[in-house]
Amino acid sequence: MNYKELIPKLNKQKLPQHIAIIMDGNGRWADQHKKRRIEGHRAGVKAVRRIVETAVEIELAYLTVYAFSTENWRRSKNEVSYLLKLIMDSLIKEIDELNKNNVNIRFIGSKKELSKKYNKKVIETCKKSWNNNGLHLNVAMNYGGRRELLDAIQEIVADSKSGKLLEAEINENKVNEYLYTAGMPDPDLVIRTSGEERLSNFLIWQSAYSEFWFTKTLWPDFSRRDFIKAILDYQKRKRRYGARK
Ligand code: FPP
């Protein structure tokens, strides 16, 4: 059954509000095809495009993709600079199309290690989409869950010291407001490709009650059909949030 035939099987009332994806396996895909790693990443961008299109088609509210982690700086200098450029160039290339589709783009992550020029470009590009109220696409860029929590703790302490925040006001909702994802719903479903079954520092606070869906498929091969199948599988699950059956 192709993905077009699967879409009507989705229960529109039970669509996850937020799907987060750990796009893994670009390097292995390149190895399998006897190509260079960068070609794996290029194929990965094509997969991002088709999944964003599908997310728009099914009217998903939030999609977050893990594009570059705070740990990815450990890769070779060449791969790092290629990846950063690829992500930015893809976004610039696609911004008009994304806008046409009413997609609102945010970058989540730490701005610290990224160059000023890069940060400026990101904001200038994304700003064009900030009035859009269709799919919210978060690109996790220089993102690390522990770093996010650390940044939040530092800000909370600073605000508390300055009197802007009272100790009694610090609760889970307040912490949410200090995260990069402030104002967004937690991911209902986290997908990871390539057979690895771990979170790798991705949305560690936000995914406390997420459902997980793993596939051996490498990210560049991840299809629209795989995406819909993950959602159909999610719709069969019972979420209890720690309560009894
Ligand atoms: C994992 O594959 C993938 C990444 C670290 C980067 C993913 C980035 C993209 C697909 C581009 C995103 C683009 C936009 C526009 C959001 P890997 O290199 O870790 O693969 P391996 O584990 O097989 O070596």
Looking from the CA of residue 91, the nearest atom of ligand 1 is: 15
**151 lies in some domain:** no
Atom 3 of ligand 1, nearest CA residue: 24
Give the CATH number, domain containing residue 31: 3.40.1180.10
- Determine the pLDDT at residue 35: 98
Residue 22 lies in a domain: yes
Question: Atom of ligand 1 at shortest distance to CA of 65?
Answer: 16
Residues near 65 by beta carbon (within 8 Å), at least 6 away in sequence: 20, 21, 23, 48, 51, 137, 138, 139, 140
Return the ligand 1 atom nearest residue 30 CA. Answer: 23
Question: At 245, is the pLDDT very low, low, confident or very high (cuts 50, 70, 90)?
Answer: low
How many domains would you assign to the chain? 1
62-69 β-sheet, strand order: 104-108, 136-143, 62-69, 18-22, 189-192, 211-214
CA 232 – CA 190 distance, rounded (Å): 13
166: pLDDT strictly greater than 70: yes
Q: Which domain holds residue 36?
A: 14-144+187-234
pLDDT tens digits along 21-41: 999 999 999 999 999 999 999
Residue 203 token pair: 């949305």
Ligand 1 centre distance from Cα of residue 69 (Å): 10
Nearest CA to ligand 1 atom 14: 87
* Element spanning 30, H or E: helix 26-32
User: Under 8 Å CB-to-CB from 229, ≥6 apart: which residues?
Assistant: 6
Q: Which two tokens stand for residue 14?
A: 């039970």
Q: What is the pLDDT of residue 239?
A: 82
Take atom 10 of ligand 1 and give the residue whose Cα is closest.
44
| 1 assigned to some structural domain | no
Q: Is the pLDDT of residue 240 over 90?
A: no
What Å distances lie between residue 92 and 37, 128, 174, CA to CA? 22, 11, 34
Best mutation site among 29, 41, 95 for ligand 1 pocket (most ligand atoms within 8 Å of CB): 41
pLDDT at 39 (0 to 100): 96
* Whole-number pLDDT of residue 146: 97
Average pLDDT over residues 122-150: 95
Going by C-alpha positions, the residue among 187, 183, 189, 230 that lies closest to residue 205 is: 187
Instruction: Examine residue 240 and state whether it is found in any structural domain, yes or no.
Output: no
What are the pLDDT digits (tens) for 192-234? 999 999 999 999 999 999 999 999 999 999 999 999 999 999 9
Q: Whose CA is nearest to atom 11 of ligand 1?
A: 45
- pLDDT at residue 117, as a whole number: 84
Residues with CB under 6 A from ligand 1: 23-28, 41, 44-45, 48, 65, 67, 72, 83, 87, 90-91, 139
Residues with catalytic annotation?
24, 72
Is 175 a domain residue?
no
Report CA torsion sign: 54, 90, 17, 70.
positive
Using one digit for the tens of pLDDT, what is the confidence trace for 62-116?
Answer: 999 999 999 999 999 999 999 999 999 999 999 999 999 999 999 999 988 888 8
